[in-house]
Structure 1
Amino acid sequence: MATQNKVSQDNSDLRFRKHGEILKKVYGSPDDIKVSTSSRNILMPWLWDWLAEPVDAISISLFRVFFGFGMTWHIIRLLRKSTVDANFNFPELNFHYPIARDNVITPRIEVVYAITMAILLSSITMMIGLFTKLSAAVFVTSYVWFNALEKSRYNNHYYFYANLALLIAVTDCGRRFSIDSFLKKSVADTTVPRWQTSIFKFMVVVCYFFAGIAKMNYDWVIRGEPMTMWMSTKIDSQSIIPSTPFVIKCIGYFMSLGGLIFDTFIGILLVSSRFRPFGFFLTMIFHVSNHFLFSIGTFPWVMLTTNFLFVPPESFRNGFRKFLSMVNLKIDTKQQSAIQENIPSTDNTYNTDNKQSKNKSTKFSKPKVSLKIKLFLGCFVGWHLLMPLRHLLYMQHSSVNWTLYGHQFSWRMMLNDEEVLLRLHAKLDVDSEEEFIQDITSTLMNLRQAKRMITDLDLVLQFVNHWTTKSPGSPEAPVSIKAELWKSLNGRPFQRWVDPEVFLSQVDPDDWNQDWILPMVPDDFIDFNELERIELVNTERNIPTSFFMERSYETFATFHHNWSGCQHITVACIRGELFYRLDDGDDEHQIMPGINFPIPLSTKYQLFTKESPAIWMYEHDCDKGLFHHGMDMLSLARLAAEYHIAMRESSKQL
């Protein structure tokens, strides 16, 4: 072992003596050059020596140009689609992240527009390389503040953009293809320490890898959901691919398993020199397909530009030479020499300015990674390795896809197809038995906020806190609020998401053991094939269907307004035992499987279970959004439809 350490030490010293010999040739004064090999890192010296080695800066410089262009287009799209008004023109309520609930001041809409223009300007200067680090710092600061203003607009893509901008701010991405490199000779060095290129690669690989790990769940692997449902909608809207259940299933499973394999292993392909071209090909297919299938903005194109980070410098050099030969340029020897000097070198040595060679007293030492850089790298790497796993510390009885605690900042992208129903029961007097149902979209929030709120329990608690404490003593401020929240996850029947007997104003949002959230009913009680068969038959009959399920000894009390547009509503039991009675009556009737039981309109009734859970379905002659609205339930489908209509009208006005 001692012999191996000595050999490793000798190799390290030899490598850096070779760097010293190159510097001697440049400066011509061996006595004035000192190559330090005595300083050693205590923790993993081989790693820090490797990260300190100089490499060409062309990959991160090219990426900076394309990333800046992508961010410029990203902000222009936000302005063109009236996103600023739709997101930040708050009627009353503003949602915040847990660490910023009381620390972010809600500004006027004019201030938000000014910040948006600052983001746009900094993205342009970052792209052209003018004050590169300062531009990136302004971009990431204003962009993070912009997104921290409103939690309901959280997006994994925005989180990824902020991380990339942060890396540009702390690295030397302006060494090439920048105005800075022309204005400042000190910036004209075309190499950077290896840690600067490696940290970008780490960020991209982490994003891919944890997205793949998140897909390793029952719905994605075994059921092929939600991809099968999404592909069904896409296939039904075109006439090329036959929309048979078998074809839809095959495409759904192909997309699911293909996405899992791609995300999990694409990082290995990109890092491997042998398989890198194949990895580039797969990323092209994957991201272009995502763009046309899901319309997810600039993210696919930004991910494609990250391929530049994995291209070896010699490939850029060879590509530039081939480009010159293709365009058939006629250049003389001096021009060729000038071009060669500007092509990045493949040697792991620092390029030096010729003017510096006149200074014979300059002393050089072995490249090292400073302590503050080590601390930054340790914090950055640790954050991105631990944050995607923090959901393991939360509730143990349900998956993160059900509770969504630990879902954000974890690269859990496009895993859930959710439908949520919300009915709030509020009391103005704690001693009163009288409750009322509040339409939360009337004055408290805009449509986008409401659409995101009912899918995020933290936002529900923020709403309850605002409603009960921000206007104490007001005749409209309730003293207690309970919620009926029903959730359908990836095609499952609606089932209760939270305990309807819990007063939400008394819930601690920072408690990791969220026992007020009900666990998901085990999937072995659900016959997914039977539900799909019923859905398919009713779709062919043009009969909308809504599936519900309830646990043992539970009661679902509801009603249906006759103004909802539904004239004929029936209920049928699919599995288990389901009973029916009027709200003010004692007579109960068992709803037998296979028999459609008619439901009277504008009459309160109860559906309840006894010893076993039950699954039932409603058949109605109106669309699902109106059906749920007629039950005084706020539905995600209804809010999404109203939001898209409002956005289209706003775009027409522009």
Structure 2
Amino acid sequence: MKKWLSESIDNSGLVLFRVLLGVLIMAESFGAILLGWVEAVFVQSKFTFNFIGFDFLQVLHGEKMYLYFFVMGIFGLLITLGLFYKFAMTAFTFLWSAVYLIQKESYNNHYYFLILICVIMIFLPANGKFSMDAKLFSKVKQTKIPRWMPYLLLFQVAILYFYAAIAKLYPDWLDGTFSKILLNGITQRQFLLDIFNQKWFLLTYAYAGILFDLLIVPALIWKKTRKLAIIASFGFHLFNAYSLKIGIFPFLALSFIVLLYDTIPFKFLNSKEEINAVTDINTKFFTLFFVPFFIVQIVLPLRHHFIKGDVLFTEEGHRLAWRMMLRERKGAINIKIVDKKTGMFHYHNYASELTQKQIKLLSHSPDIIWQYCQRIKNESKKPISIFVECSVSINRRPYLKLIDEKVDMAAVDFDYFGHNDWVLLHDIK
């Protein structure tokens, strides 16, 4: 295996992936402006709910975010052209990471996935040919890479799919309950609903999802099943792109197919000059960086198994764990503000300062509830206590209390890696 991974291969697959990635970065960045995403998240809101500990990123708000996303789109163009590639990829990675960390209102797993892929791409010589860099700087020219380089990217994809499959191994997925909720939410056409509501179809959809996530990467790597796996990938991801509206992720996932081929049958990628720069690669650096990198990626999604309670209800350990499209979550919330000096109380009018998307998130997310309570406390001109009345429904079950109503939310801390005692525990059956 080590010998096989160390073999020199043509770098056309990696080069073509760079081009596709750059195009998708442009689509994500410019599309966010043109389709109103930037306006909805950063302009219409008074603030955003950042990841806890990243409050300093609140400066990324308002109309300046149009320029911010435009600049990211330009970096996408530079990546596509292979012009100042290392700088463009590094700069985009930092800017996109900040976008991810500054807002949880539009949390999407592919935002996090894009960060990880870009981090890997920073260190890969994806501008070795078919790039402006290769034309301008002779030292950049390269037509060969070791096979393990594209497999760094494929390994990251494999981690995502594996944990996505494991996350589906819970009752509401296995019996088709959530599949019914999901499919009924993507269409109003009766003939489709008649099919989607058939038990056999719901179970087929549910188990096909698990099998796809578990088997797609091995099936793509194995040459005997690769063609069938490619067809399945296009069917699966294009259906998701059309029905679930999840941005660039389906197309990003399909882009990885080009990494599987040692040679790409496109003349514009073929170089008459064979330049093998494999011997110049600092494999020790790659080992020291990527071994810890992937250990973190393997361990991080496991953390909710070591946190008290069911992550399906508590949400503790849900993020960064590839728990994608798994449940419907609805909540109802009231926030009671008590004046510590007089004992007088009133219910906070959160609807007056939050967008509809923020209100929905606030109604069922413990970390958002805690953050908002801290914000109310910090903005108050007098000492107050804050008590939260919140109930949550999972997959249309009866509502259950999420927050301990006796706990002063203005006085408690938030434990990001453990259970917060003010989050109530329930068995979801």
With normalisation by structure 2, the TM-score equals 0.92
Cα distance, 1:119 vs structure 2 = 0.4
Q: State how far apart, in whole Å, the 1-side matches of 2:311 and 2:163 are.
A: 14
Match of 1:79 in 2: 33
Structure 2 residue 176 is matched with structure 1 residue 224: yes
Q: Name the amino acid aligned to 1:134.
A: F
Of 398, 404, 407 in structure 2, the residue corresponding to residue 493 of structure 1 is 398
Which one of the candidate residues 46, 64, 67 is aligned to 1:114?
A: 67
Alignment of 1:19-38 (within 5 A): none
Q: 1:92 to 1:297 in 2, by over 3 A?
A: closer
Q: For 1:340 and 1:194, how far apart are their aligned partners in 2?
A: 18
The match for 1:384 is 297
Are 2:15 and 1:64 equivalent residues in the alignment? Answer: no
Unmatched segments (≥5 aa) in structure 2 = none
Letter in 1 for 2:85: T
Q: 1:134 to 1:244 in 2, by over 3 A?
A: closer
Residue 157 (structure 1) shift:
0.9
Do residues 302 (structure 1) and 212 (structure 2) align? no
Q: Is the 8 A contact 1:69 1:123 kept in 2?
A: yes
Deviation at 1:453, TM superposition (A): 2.5
Q: Deviations over 1:342-361 (max 9, x none)?
A: 279xxxxxx438xxxxxxxx
Describe the SS at the equivalent of 1:152: coil
Pair 1:340–1:285, CA change in 2 (3 A): closer
- Greater per-residue helix proportion: 2
> Which one of the candidate residues 259, 272, 281 is aligned to 2:222?
272
Task: Please name the residue that 2:191 is paired with.
Answer: 240
Shift of 1:240: 2.8
Show CA shifts across 1:312-331 (max 9, x none): 42xx2xx448xxxxxxxxxx
Once residues 373 and 340 of structure 1 are traced to their aligned partners in structure 2, the CA distance between those partners, rounded to angstroms, is 26
Q: CA deviation at 1:105?
A: 4.5
- How far does residue 115 in structure 1 lie from its aligned partner after superposition? 1.9
Q: Distance in 1 between matches of 2:92 and 2:54?
A: 20
CA contact (8 A) 1:225 1:256 kept: no
Which residue in the other structure is 2:275 paired with?
352
Q: Is the 8 A contact 2:8 2:278 kept in 1?
A: no
Q: List per-residue Cα deviations over 1:291-320 (Å, max 9, x = no partner).
A: 22212222111111111112342xx2xx44
Aligned to 1:138: 91
Are the structure 2 counterparts of residues 368 and 78 from structure 1 closer, same or farther at C-alpha, using a change threshold of 3 Å? closer
Q: 1:205, CA displacement in angstroms?
A: 1.2
Q: Deviations over 1:536-590 (max 9, x none)?
A: xxxxxxxxxxxxxxxxxxxxxxxxxxxxxxxxxxxxxxxxxxxxxxxxxxxxxxx
Distance 1:232 1:91 in 2: 30
Q: Deviations over 1:73-122 (max 9, x none)?
A: 11122101222222123754442212423x43524524323321210100
Distance 1:220 1:161 in 2: 26
Matches within 5 A, 1:374-523: 374-395=287-308, 398-429=309-340, 432=343, 434-443=344-353, 445-473=354-382, 479-510=384-415, 512-521=418-427, 523=429
Paired position in structure 1 for 2:206: 256
CA distance in 2, matches of 1:365, 1:191: 7
In structure 1, C-alpha distance between the alignment counterparts of 2:210 and 2:155, rounded to whole Å: 19
Cα 1:250–1:491 shift into 2, 3 Å: farther
- Which one is further off, 513-522 or 385-394? 513-522
- Partner SS for 2:369: helix
Residue 3 of structure 1 corresponds to none
SS of residue matched to 1:96:
coil
1:106 and 1:149 in contact (8 A); partners too: no
- The verdict on how the C-alpha distance between 1:261 and 1:430 changes in structure 2, with shifts beyond 3 A counting, is farther
Counterparts in 2 of 1:486 and 1:68: CA distance versus 1, 3 Å: same
Tell me by how many angstroms 1:53 deviates. 3.8
Letter in 1 for 2:183: M
Query: For 2:189, what is the secondary structure of its paired residue?
Result: coil
Task: Tell me: CA distance 1:320–1:506, structure 2 relative to 1, closer, same or farther (3 Å).
Answer: same
Distance 1:375 1:442 in 2: 50
Q: What is the CA-CA distance between 1:507 and the residue it aligns to?
A: 2.2
Letter in 1 for 2:350: I
SS of residue matched to 2:333: strand
Q: Give the CA deviation at 1:428.
A: 1.9
**Counterpart amino acid of 2:238?**
V
CA distance in structure 2 between the aligned counterparts of 1:449 and 1:228, rounded to whole angstroms = 26
CA distance in 1, matches of 2:367, 2:146: 42
Q: How many Å apart are 1:430 and its aligned residue?
A: 5.3
Q: Tell me by how many angstroms 1:177 deviates.
A: 2.0
- Give the Cα separation in 1 of the matches to 2:351 and 2:160: 35
Sort the Cα spacing of 1:522 and 1:170 in 2 relative to 1 into closer, same or farther, 3 A.
closer
Q: CA deviation at 1:522?
A: 5.0
Q: Please state if 1:370 is matched with 2:283.
A: yes
Aligned match for 2:8, one of 50, 54, 57:
54
Give the match's secondary structure for 2:191.
coil
Q: String of CA shifts for 1:481-537, please: whole Å, max 9, x gaps.
A: 1111111101211111122222112222126132222222452xxxxxxxxxxxxxx
Native 8 Å contact 2:30 2:70 kept in 1: no
Q: Say if 1:522 and 1:204 are closer, same or farther in 2 by CA, change over 3 A.
A: closer
Which ranges in structure 1 are unaligned for 5 or more consecutive residues? 1-45, 322-338, 345-350, 354-363, 524-654
Contact 2:43–2:62 at 8 Å: present in 1 too? Answer: yes
- Assess if the C-alpha contact under 8 Å between 1:228 and 1:251 holds in 2: no
Q: Provide, for residues 571-628 of structure 1, a one-character-per-residue CA deviation record: whole Å limited to 9, x for no partner.
A: xxxxxxxxxxxxxxxxxxxxxxxxxxxxxxxxxxxxxxxxxxxxxxxxxxxxxxxxxx
Shift of 1:366: 6.6
Whole-angstrom CA distance in 1 between matches of 2:62 and 2:419: 38
CA contact (8 A) 2:128 2:141 kept: yes
Contact 2:134 2:140 in 1 (8 A): yes
1:175 and 1:367 map into 2 onto residues whose CA distance is: 13
Letter matched to residue 413 of structure 1: M
Q: How many residues are paired up?
A: 428
CA deviation vs aligned residue, 1:27-78 (integer Å, no higher than 9, x gap): xxxxxxxxxxxxxxxxxxx84x655443221111111111111111111221
Percent identity between the two aligned chains? 24
> Given that residues 78 and 84 in structure 2 are in contact (C-alpha distance below 8 angstroms), is that contact kept between their aligned partners in structure 1?
yes
1:177-223 deviation per Cα after TM superposition (whole angstroms, max 9, x unaligned): 212222222222201233321101111111111111111111111x3
8 Å contact from structure 2 (residues 366, 423) kept in 1 = no
In structure 1, C-alpha distance between the alignment counterparts of 2:347 and 2:116, rounded to whole Å: 42
Q: Say whether the 8 Å CA contact 2:313–2:428 is kept in structure 1.
A: no
Q: Look up the equivalent residue of 1:387 and give its one-letter code.
A: L
Matched to 1:88, the amino acid is F
**Structure possessing the higher relative contact order (Cα contacts under 8 Å, 6 or more residues apart):** 2
Deviation at 1:464, TM superposition (A): 0.4
DSSP-derived class of the 1:422 partner: strand
1:441 maps to amino acid: A
State how far apart, in whole Å, the 2-side matches of 1:310 and 1:127 are: 20
The aligned runs of 1:204-215 (5 Å cut-off) are: 204-215=157-168
| Contact 2:145–2:278 under 8 Å retained in 1 | no
Mapped partners of 1:156, 1:340: distance in 2: 32
Q: What is the aligned-residue RMSD (CA, Å)?
A: 2.6
